[in-house]
Amino acid sequence: MEEFIKLHHKYKDANPVENEGNSEFHYYKLLIINNIECRNYIKKQEILESGFAINECCTAMDYQIFLYNKKNKKNIINKWSESMYGIAFRGRNNELVEIHHCPWCGVKLH
């Protein structure tokens, strides 16, 4: 993981076209594709850098709530209150369906 973190800081804003022949850059991209820990590291960094404080059951859920609150139009899952999590169906009268378990890790939500 230490190796990935070093590569991430080196290449996170790198231009893929400029790095087309750079095997280290391709190795970095492959680590992201093949390793969920690397993807979770990137998501956690993005959340931390935004100053958003969330600590749900798993990084996948943290990231969904983070994206929703960033007004990402594709995101439909959010935490609506301390005890209510749900899926919003935008465009269908903003209908909300409550969920009781995390869709990613299966943990029972509060």
- Give the residues lining the site for Zn ion (CB under 5 A): 57-58, 61, 102, 104-105
- Quickly count helices (H) and strands (E) in the chain: 4, 3
Distance of closest approach, residue 71 Cβ to Zn ion, in angstroms: 22
**Shortest Å distance, C-beta 61 to Zn ion:** 4
* Measured distance CA(51)–CA(34) in Å, rounded: 28
Q: How far is C-alpha 101 from the chain's CA centre?
A: 18
CB 109 → Zn ion: shortest distance, Å?
8
Residue nearest Zn ion (C-beta atom): 102
Q: Is 95 left (phi over 0), alpha (psi -120 to 50) or beta?
A: beta
Residue reference for tokens 């590569």: 7
